[in-house]
Structure 1
Amino acid sequence: MYLLGFPLLLVPFAIYNIVAFLWAGVSWSDAATRVHLVSGGEWTMSAGDILIAVSLVFLFGEIVKATRIGTRAVVDHALSLLLFLAMMIEFLLVPQAATATFFLLMAISLVDVLAGFAVTLRTAQRDLSVDGFPTSSPTS
């Protein structure tokens, strides 16, 4: 319940920054794991691929959180917007963030912001009631 006002996409953003700044020279595109498939093919996953997959799971959580109405939802949307803006500034100004992995994280954050506001607006439209019109006819 307390995580409602916390942007979940902050977790992959923090993981990216921890790895990028503390372990200099780490490549997000090097193979992290290989899976041999029944077809005989080999599926290679990089650290960046794994981080993007985890981020998509967090995006699902953010969209589910966007269906709630209230003050905390507004705060959550505002924090998600601030996170996206911080990611965009970091992408433009910090050399360690100039990777495809970070760009995709930023794109996922943008989808979170847009979907959050769209879901909230759509939900608010359904809750709109018109005053001044009686709901039942008066009997005399």
Structure 2
Amino acid sequence: MKLEMFPLLTISFVVYAGLTLAGVTASGAGGQEVAWYDALVAALPLVSGDRWEIRGGDIFLLVSVGFLFVELVRSTKTGAASIANHLLSFLLFVIVLLCFILVKGFGNSTFFIFMMMTFLDPMAGLVVTTVTARRDLAVADKSGLLN
């Protein structure tokens, strides 16, 4: 399989599933065990007096947004590998949706936001591919190639 066909958000999904299904936890407030995505990673004081708390799920989503950006840039390409990427991305969305609905530890806001990213990836890719195809057909039609 070509690397261009591989949806990068699959990496995020495998990491989330691995950490969640392995039961990775951390000590929360009062010594209570919390899931890895709710665990406090850092707390930074701000000039405003607020305290910015960064949790495991926040870092997961930040990395996933980076992968989504790369996927959106890759969606501007046309060709068989790009179409295969859109199809595999849609398959990933279906798997993620089923996990959100059916698997314990996946029904939370962090995973829901990630699920929406996996939905946006193939939809944006299909829209870009459709617009590009329409433009290519319009150019070919004006040149008389399709008559």
**2:15 is matched with which residue?**
15
What SS class does the counterpart of residue 105 from structure 2 fall into?
helix
Match of 2:73 among 64, 68, 71: 64
What SS class does the counterpart of residue 53 from structure 1 fall into?
helix
Give the CA deviation at 1:31: 1.5
Give the CA deviation at 1:27: 4.1
Q: TM-score, length-normalised on structure 2?
A: 0.83
Give the CA deviation at 1:125: 1.4
Match of 1:52 among 34, 58, 61: 61
Give the CA deviation at 1:95: 1.2
Larger mean CA deviation between 21-30 and 66-75 belongs to 21-30
Any residues of structure 2 matched to 1:1-140 within 5 Å, and which?
A: 2-25=2-25, 26-128=35-137, 129-130=140-141, 133=144
Give the CA deviation at 1:91: 0.9
Distance 1:133 1:122 in 2: 20
Say which structure, 1 or 2, has more relative contact order (CA 8 Å, 6+ apart). 1
Aligned pair count reads 133
Give the CA deviation at 1:32: 1.4
Larger mean CA deviation between 57-66 and 35-44 belongs to 35-44
Distance 1:27 1:68 in 2: 36
Contact 2:40/2:53 (8 A) holds in 1: yes
Name the amino acid aligned to 2:118: S
Give the CA deviation at 1:35: 1.8
Structure of greater Rg: 1
What RMSD over aligned residues (CA atoms) do the two structures have, in Å?
1.8
What SS class does the counterpart of residue 35 from structure 1 fall into?
strand
Moved over 6 A (4+): none
In structure 1, list runs of 5 or more residues that go unmatched: 135-140
Give the CA deviation at 1:38: 3.1
Distance 2:134 2:19 in 1: 42
Name the amino acid aligned to 2:76: T
Distance 2:69 2:36 in 1: 27
Q: TM-score, length-normalised on structure 1?
A: 0.87
Distance 1:96 1:109 in 2: 18
Distance 2:55 2:24 in 1: 17
Contact 2:19/2:36 (8 A) holds in 1: no
Contact 2:61/2:114 (8 A) holds in 1: yes
